[in-house]
Structure 1
Amino acid sequence: MNIKLGVSTWLWTSPFTTESVNLFPKIKSMGYEAVEIPIEYPELIDGKQVRDALLSEGLVPISCGAFGPTRDLTHDDPSVHDVCFDYLRRCFELSNVIGATFVAGPMYSAVGKVRMLPPDGRKRDWERAVVNLGKVCQMASDHGMAIALEPLNRFESDMVNTAEDVVRLANDINHPAARVMLDSFHMSLEERNPEAAIVHAGEKLIHMQVSENYRGVPGTGQTPWQLIRRGLERINYNGVVSIESFTPEVKELAGAVCIWKHLAPSQDGFASDGYKFLSQLFEVQNS
């Protein structure tokens, strides 16, 4: 197992813009080798400048998508699908420039879309996701990339909540670009055993996000970290483990993820303490 540690710029700011590269030297100085770049608005990001800043600091980029009501591949209106296809195309193009190898996120539906659907409604949405994500996979493949599908907890999605759900979705898509990411926060709500969930994802797992069960600093809550480590060891995971949490200072983002207060004395302290814990957990050697 060879793990690199990363952190999302959402810990400090939103949306990510070209100017957000000012965070990179600080992230590198803390010991991180990778940075998650949330692509909320591709038009705000100059890919070449971001690539140069990444290279300057020696950071590996991870591209993450953002999927609100206007980017919903299971919407009843096909024109909304077209908006999402166009957005993802721009994500792939930007990711190519900055050097990312996949785009991650819950791109099967809009975040926060939770309904009590009858079985035929669920079947319809699932089949719609499979068809549309098949198109996205072909788009990703055309750019030499993959997608990493993320399960969300039941309060954020009524479609894909567990590793079993997301592996079934990837299998139904049946395209080599259809891969998986897991997030320990969502797992803490949905999985009976995080080790078994990681093992079930197996070779499809290409990205891992972490935070505490309350979205706080890793190592300060109830997350069963040894089970997560053991699961990653069992599949010989050789990717990035990245902290994803958020700042309450950006009101729109904080409202979307229901973070109403600071989860650490400072966001820099959050990142620094999180790195220390994870580097010990995974025995990461700072290069």
Structure 2
Amino acid sequence: MALPVRFGVSTWLWTSPFSTASIPELFPKIADMGYDVVEIAVEDPTLIDVNAVREGLLKYKLKANICGAFGPSRDLTHEDPAVHQNCFSYITACLDICAALGVSFFGGPMYSAVGKARMVAPDQRKREWNLAVQNLRIVCNMAAQRGIRIALEPLNRFESDLVNTTEDVLRLIKDIQHPAAGIMLDGFHMNIEERDVEQAIIAAGDKLIHLQVSENFRGTPGTGQTRWDAYRRGLEAINYKGTVTIESFTTANQELAGAVCFWHPMAESQDGFATEGLRFLKDWAK
């Protein structure tokens, strides 16, 4: 039986930051390739005209997902409350975009700043964990007011010292104690951190809102050593019906490439990456 999923691709595969000017370049191409969903990575909400995005989605018969970018100025575990407020303002703008486009969740590693990976004392770790819980409860209330959920994404140990595994994010959600809190898993991070990706997906269960994939080296799905059979068994076991989105990046944007440690292209072309990756995923899901 085929997996009852839709397929998406992240705008980060081609561009950063996404803006209104990206729409005529990306949306028709993504639709022509056969994708159901465009995953819009919102780095700067002021660059995005929501009405133009809505018109583009309708024109090209695409759905949207919205994911966020969390650098040092958007850190809910920072000691300075002003940094929290800056993050709340950014998340508010992203949630408003979700609401305007009819998107049911906002995803990303919004508990802390990407790249915040240190060895700290247990008492500091506890303080930061408690700050994440406290502030994400506020975010959940903001999301629920708009009829939206948040999808919290574990990152690998080189990008976060707070939430690395499905077990970690489940503990975070348990502490938040809010129905709007859910999970987004990313196969790249899982391939580094999880002992068993099938069991990690099963553990996430009905809290799994979204799944991002690429190869173990962030390349085109089907060209590496990812255990795609284990991913499929896990998704079948929890009757996952969401979107499976390809997320990778481009070396064309040096700032983004430096942030995600992309020192060389992962495919001959980004269009080829997207086309061949979707072909593989559709065969995998049959």
Alignment TM-score, normalising by the size of structure 1: 0.98
CA-atom RMSD in angstroms: 0.7
The answer as to 2:6 corresponding to 1:4 is: yes
Task: Give, in angstroms, the shift of residue 228 of structure 1.
Answer: 0.3
Structure 2: which amino acid aligns with 1:41?
Answer: D
- State the one-letter code of the partner of 1:16: F
- Aligned residue identity for 2:14: W
Q: What residue is the counterpart of 2:60 in the other structure?
A: 57
Q: Percentage identity across aligned positions?
A: 61
Q: Does 1:256 align with 2:259?
A: yes
8 Å contact kept, 1:103–1:147: yes
> What corresponds to 2:199 in structure 1?
196
The one of 143, 149, 153 aligned to 2:152: 149
Find 1:169's aligned residue among 163, 172, 181. Answer: 172
The one-letter code sitting in structure 1 at the alignment partner of 2:99 is N
In the alignment, the residues of structure 2 paired with residue 59 and residue 169 of structure 1 have an alpha-carbon distance, to the nearest angstrom, of 33
Query: Matched residue of 1:124: which SS?
Result: helix
The 5 A counterparts of 1:176-191 are 176-191=179-194
Give the aligned partner of residue 212 of structure 2: 209
Report deviation, 1:55: 1.3
Pairing 1:1-287 to 2, within 5 Å after superposition:
1-22=3-24, 23-283=26-286
* Letter matched to residue 103 of structure 2: A
Give the Cα–Cα distance (whole angstroms) in 2 for the partners of residues 152 and 226 of structure 1: 22
Q: What SS is found at the alignment partner of 2:210?
A: strand
Q: Which runs of 5+ in 2 are unaligned?
A: none
Q: List, as ranges, runs of 4+ consecutive aligned residues in structure 1 with deviation greater than 6 Å.
A: none
Query: How far apart are the structure 1 equivalents of 2:39 and 2:274?
Result: 13
CA contact (8 A) 1:3 1:239 kept: yes
Letter in 2 for 1:165: D
Q: Distance in 2 between matches of 1:2 and 1:55?
A: 23
Measure the CA separation in 2 of the matches of 1:102 and 1:55. 19
Distance 1:168 1:274 in 2: 33
Distance in 2 (CA, whole Å) between partners of 1:174 and 1:24 is: 37
Taking the aligned partners of 2:14 and 2:102, their CA distance within structure 1 comes to: 22
Give the secondary structure class of the aligned counterpart of 1:26.
helix
Give, in angstroms, the shift of residue 99 of structure 1. Answer: 2.1
TM-score of the two chains, using structure 2 as the length reference: 0.98
Decide whether the 8 Å contact of 1:18 with 1:46 is kept in 2: yes
Which amino acid in structure 1 is aligned with residue 162 of structure 2?
Answer: M
Within 2, Cα distance between the matches of 1:174 and 1:56? 40
Secondary structure, counterpart of 2:223 in structure 1: coil
- Match of 2:265, as an amino acid? H
Shift in Å, 1:72: 0.3
Q: How many residues align?
A: 283
- In structure 1, what is the Cα distance between the partners aligned to 2:4 and 2:178? 26
SS of equivalent residue, structure 1 residue 241: strand
Take 2:166 and 2:42, find their aligned partners in 1: how far apart are those partners?
24
Measured against aligned partners, the alpha-carbon deviations of 1:49-94 in whole angstroms (never above 9, x if no partner) come to 1011011111111100100000000000011000000110011111
1:103: Cα distance to partner? 0.6
What does the per-residue CA deviation read over 1:111-135, in whole Å, with 9 as the maximum and x for residues that have no partner?
0001101111111111110000000
- Give CA deviations for 1:251-271 in whole Å, capped at 9, x if unaligned: 000000001111111000000
> Is 117-126 or 226-235 further displaced after alignment?
117-126
Residue identity opposite 2:145 in structure 1? D
What letter corresponds to residue 77 of structure 2 in structure 1? T
Letter in 2 for 1:200: A
Structure 1: any 5+ residue segments left out of the alignment?
A: none
Taking the aligned partners of 1:30 and 1:171, their CA distance within structure 2 comes to: 39
CA distance in 2, matches of 1:39, 1:133: 19
Query: Does the CA-based 8 Å contact 1:51-1:99 persist in structure 2?
Result: no
State the one-letter code of the partner of 2:285.
F
SS of the counterpart of 1:255? helix
Secondary structure, aligned partner of 2:248: coil
